[in-house]
Amino acid sequence: MNLRMLINEPAAPDVMVHNLTLDTRALEPGDVFIALPGAEHDGRDFIEPALAAGAVAVLTESGRALNRDDERVISVAGLKGELGALANRLYGSPSGDLKVVAATGTNGKTSVVDLTAQMLRRMGRKTGTIGTLGMRLDQQPTETRNTTPDCLALHRQLRQWRDHGVECVALEASSHALDQGRLDGLAVDVGVFTNLSRDHLDYHHSMDAYCEAKLKLFREFEPASRIYNADDKAVIAHADVWRSGALGVSVVSANAEISIEVVQAIPLVLKLRTPWGDGRLRTALSGRFNAFNVGASLAAILSLGVDFSEALAAAEALEPVVGRLQAVGDGTDIRVIVDYAHTPDALERAICAVKETDNAGALWVLFGCGGDRDPGKRAEMGTIACRFADRVIVTSDNPRSESPEAIIDDILLGCDNSPIVEADRAAAIALAIAEAKVGDTVLIAGKGHETYQEIDGVRLPFNDAERAAQHLQQRQAA
């Protein structure tokens, strides 16, 4: 597309635009660089490198004196708020040609997105996913910096997928992404609100602001179908959002639009009552908390118009989500489970899910808390671990720029007994697996699918499941 047409400016340079980008590292000759101030860097400081790398133009916010006399540098009033429109203009509004399911909430977003995509793929719909597990067309996780990519990268990816025959996309709509406009211009067919509990208060500062950011998915994007957790008081409090036509999913109330009875927790067996029909299904998933995830995912694909019996058959073939109550080893000696739980609510849910089994041994919980994130949840997580587990090991998560020992001290403020402290996560995993008795369960919480540990701004290779598997082999060989 010609730049003049893209920005509706006849005086702009007469050049063709290949892509739009906010990141000079991803810039290729023929691209337009968008120079905006960010949380860590100011894009306007990278104008010269962008032009040197082959950018045909640079768009920047008006209002800052750039001291330049270069027609390729163009000031645009309100540029940040126009990114979605610019991306849609350049890439041909790709989300409008796709069926888009977006999930928001504190916990469960990744599971709902993954389960939704699994079922759609099982039914022959080519489906992409965007979220914590990366941008994928299959079940293989990829590394990602943010749950939701920036607005331009999002639309560019959707255009590529659409052009390669993708029909559906399931994505995570994080509170940061909604607040920062990373989803601007996206057409959303189905919105899902999983739950609301404490997280990201380092960014949002209050639970009200955190909740309002998530509600933008429904208030601003106006999905045709709205699905919500009818058992979560913080969610159902916003009755204006769940007006006529919204679908509440409940494992408690038989009066919800989608009512779920948990017949068996492990493996998960459910009885469902829905507007599309009633049914019973048996899955390979575990834990009562997954009942909502399955119900919400089913509601999402049924809202897209798929056949009910076909959807139930696809649900019966669901596989566990990587890093979510992921079993390591065969469990004949000790059970080892890896989970992404990194909030108070998620940690309690994971512990309760593990305790739902008939395992007679002790429950070990190993966890830490991320650095440069809401410090207020650290003591809460310490309290939960010490209340529900028999043995607790407090260790590092992703300390980032903080001292691991300082983070651990914050966690210990919530512990009324004396957990084991081992700041080295690898050593902590080795200790738990070596010390556990036959029949015990070790829950390694916090990092789940992640393949790195971030220390002092550097991501070092680290995978909880791989480490646990190594130490299980050593235990069995001893």
Instruction: Work out the pLDDT band at 188, boundaries 50, 70, 90.
Output: very high
Residue pair 298/119 in contact by the 8 Å Cβ criterion: yes
Instruction: Work out the pLDDT band at 219, boundaries 50, 70, 90.
Output: very high
Higher-pLDDT residue of 289 and 104 is 104
Average pLDDT of span 279-305: 96
Q: What are 366-380's pLDDT values in tens digits?
A: 999 999 999 999 999
Write down the pLDDT at residue 447. Answer: 97
Residue pair 266/286 in contact by the 8 Å Cβ criterion: yes
For the chain, what is the largest distance between any 2 Cα atoms, rounded to a whole number of angstroms? 76
Write down the pLDDT at residue 138. Answer: 81
pLDDT exceeds 80 at position 139: no
pLDDT exceeds 90 at position 450: yes
pLDDT exceeds 60 at position 304: yes
pLDDT exceeds 60 at position 65: no
- Model pTM score: 0.89
% the chain with pLDDT above 90: 86
Q: What is the number of other CB atoms lying within 10 angstroms of the CB of residue 332? A: 8
Q: What are 173-186's pLDDT values in tens digits?
A: 999 999 999 999 99
Chain position carrying tokens 């101030």: 37
Q: How high does pLDDT run on average in the chain?
A: 94
- Alpha carbons 169 and 98: distance in angstroms, whole number: 7
Domains of the chain: 3-77 (3.40.1390.10), 92-316 (3.40.1190.10), 326-477 (3.90.190.20)
Write down the pLDDT at residue 203. Answer: 81
Average pLDDT of span 165-170: 98
Write down the pLDDT at residue 62. Answer: 75
Instruction: Work out the pLDDT band at 38, boundaries 50, 70, 90.
Output: confident
Write down the pLDDT at residue 63. Answer: 65
Instruction: Work out the pLDDT band at 142, boundaries 50, 70, 90.
Output: low
Instruction: Work out the pLDDT band at 64, boundaries 50, 70, 90.
Output: low
